Amino acid sequence: MKKFLLALSISISAAVSAQTVDTIYCTPGFAARTYYRLSNNVQTATPLTNWQIAVPVRASAFPNNPIVGTSLRYNGGAGMKLYRVPGKTVADYSAPLDTTGMSNWPNLIDPDTTWDIGAFNANKSSDIFNFGWGTYNQNSHDVVGDSMYLLKIYNSPNFFYKKFIIERLAYDTLWMMKWSNIDGSSPDSITINKKDFAGKNFVYLNVLSKNVLDNEPQSSNWDLLFGRYATSVTLFSQTINDYPVVGALSNLGVQVAEARGVDKTTAHNFAYRNSYTKNISEIGWDWKAVMTSALVDSLCYFVKAKDNNIYKLIFTYYGGNTNGKIAISVQGLGTSVKEENPYASSFSVYPNPTSTTATLVFSNNAGNKQQTVRVFDITGKQWITTTIESTAGLNTNEIDLSHLPKGLYLISLQAGDYTIQQRVLVK
């Protein structure tokens, strides 16, 4: 019984705002990625195709999670391919590269569940000091590169090939990288100082123009990234590991709960209190049908954003490549209130089960206070909301449940920033 009650414990939100509909502009063909902030609807659009490598500029979290500062990613959304060259190391960089058998080389992809690991980390060993592309030296405090990569860059209408190495990440500060044509011609190198980009997650390297692009807003200023990225998709019974899709990825520190197969207009976040995840692709791309512009019905999302508020998000339009527009309905639900209530402790409901009315009995330990009574079903649909006055001491209030369909419901009492709840069975 206790486990069941905990699973259904609720998180009611205060300061509910009106729904607004915002259009996210990613330009025709989704040639731009757009950073979006839920609290004020601010959008920052950046080109998709002017970079190949996303270079992390966060500090490595030594000793707990040092990989976060080493998670280089690639631009799979722009059709780029990334290969780790078998049997070759940084020491082989100066020699021409033989690409015979390239179709059998490991094709690396970015995980779409976290920003903390990138495609370049794919070959990380069990050694805690190894990060896939290089190994931490405890004496120099550098991560020293040990792998060679081949970049297959799509720059319409052509592909360009570059061999690429990360020489080192010096003292978790300076990235040192080199690249050239596969025959060694047109060599280039760059040094990127993490400290030049404080508060950002990534900067973006264009190896064709040797530019470092400060594309994204401060990490504290965006919640969702809309645009094209590569992920695993099954089409016609065949799984493609790096298929470019259009979707939404969530920022570090943002959590999302998906409500699928529900009445999206009435679904409430309380039913999904235990479903929030840091998976960056919890929204992802599957709010629409594959290879069409049709939206999935009966689907919404609840987002715990960077401003500590919860937002309900519903997709209302997808324009496809023609215009690169996505429309979303956004409703602010306020912050989660505390799951305790000194104005309504010792809360019970009788009779339980009931088919007509239920009496709410609670003790008010903190003086007079107005209570908001809400009744939800287990899908999150709100059936009843009303206000009652409570006074110090024992309180009883009757509520009519006779019009509700048979099933299990949750009744909540909210007073200011506090809430308490009980379940009731309508038979």
Residue range 248-303, pLDDT digits in tens: 999 999 999 999 998 898 888 877 877 899 999 999 999 998 777 899 999 999 99
Residue 8 lies in a domain: no
Residue range 197-241, pLDDT digits in tens: 999 999 999 999 999 999 999 999 999 999 999 999 888 888 888
Residue 99 lies in a domain: yes
Q: What is the pLDDT of residue 10?
A: 35
Q: Which residues contact 402 (CB under 8 A, 6 or more apart)?
A: 355, 356, 357
Same domain, 266 and 415: no
Residue at a domain's end among 154, 182, 214: 214
Positions of E strands within 220-289? 224-235, 238-250, 255-260
Same domain, 345 and 280: no
Residue 109 lies in a domain: yes
Per-residue pLDDT at 366 exceeds 90:
no
Q: What is the pLDDT of residue 5?
A: 29
Residue 115 lies in a domain: yes
Residue at a domain's end among 214, 237, 271: 214
- Which among 301, 261, 311, 308 is positioned nearest to 281, based on CA atoms? 301
Q: What is the pLDDT of residue 73?
A: 98
Residue at a domain's end among 214, 249, 283: 214
Per-residue pLDDT at 14 exceeds 60:
no
Per-residue pLDDT at 11 exceeds 60:
no
Residue range 332-346, pLDDT digits in tens: 987 765 556 777 877
Same domain, 72 and 181: yes
Looking at the chain, the whole-number percentage of residues with pLDDT higher than 90 is 65
Question: CB-hemisphere CA count at 13 Å for 327?
Answer: 11
Q: Counting beta carbons within 10 angstroms of the beta carbon of residue 282, is it exposed (0 to 12), middle (13 to 18) or buried (19 or more)? A: buried
Same domain, 237 and 131: no
Residue 304 lies in a domain: yes
| pLDDT band, residue 154 (cuts 50/70/90) | confident
Prior bond to 353 cis, omega within 30?
yes
Q: What is the pLDDT of residue 301?
A: 97
Q: What is the pLDDT of residue 291?
A: 74
Residue range 84-141, pLDDT digits in tens: 999 999 999 999 999 999 988 988 999 999 999 999 999 898 888 999 999 999 899 9
Same domain, 36 and 67: no
Q: How many CB atoms lie within 10 A of CB 68?
A: 19
Per-residue pLDDT at 368 exceeds 80:
no
Q: Number of folded domains in the chain? A: 3
- Domain around 290: 20-46+221-334
Q: Could you tell me the CATH number of the domain that includes residue 360?
A: 2.60.40.3080
Least confident of 177-181, 184-188, 412-416: 412-416
What is the pTM (predicted TM-score) of this model?
A: 0.80
Residue 266 lies in a domain: yes
Positions of E strands within 121-201? 134-137, 142-145, 149-155, 158-170, 174-180, 188-193
Same domain, 40 and 61: no
- Tokens of residue 259, six digits: 């409500």
Same domain, 111 and 237: no
**62 torsion bin: left (phi>0), alpha (psi -120 to 50), beta (else):** beta
Residue 209 lies in a domain: yes
Residue 12 lies in a domain: no
**188 torsion bin: left (phi>0), alpha (psi -120 to 50), beta (else):** beta
Same domain, 266 and 292: yes
Same domain, 84 and 98: yes
Cross-strand bridge partners of residue 422: 411
Residue range 26-70, pLDDT digits in tens: 999 999 999 999 999 999 999 999 999 999 999 998 777 789 999
Order of strands across the sheet that contains 393-400: 345-350, 357-364, 393-400
Average per-residue pLDDT for the chain: 89
Alpha helices in 229-384 (DSSP H): 320-323
Per-residue pLDDT at 9 exceeds 50:
no
Residue that is written with structure tokens 């044509």 in the block = 181
Same domain, 225 and 304: yes
Same domain, 316 and 387: no
Q: What is the rounded distance in angstroms from the CA atom of residue 289 to the CA atom of residue 283? A: 14
Same domain, 102 and 175: yes
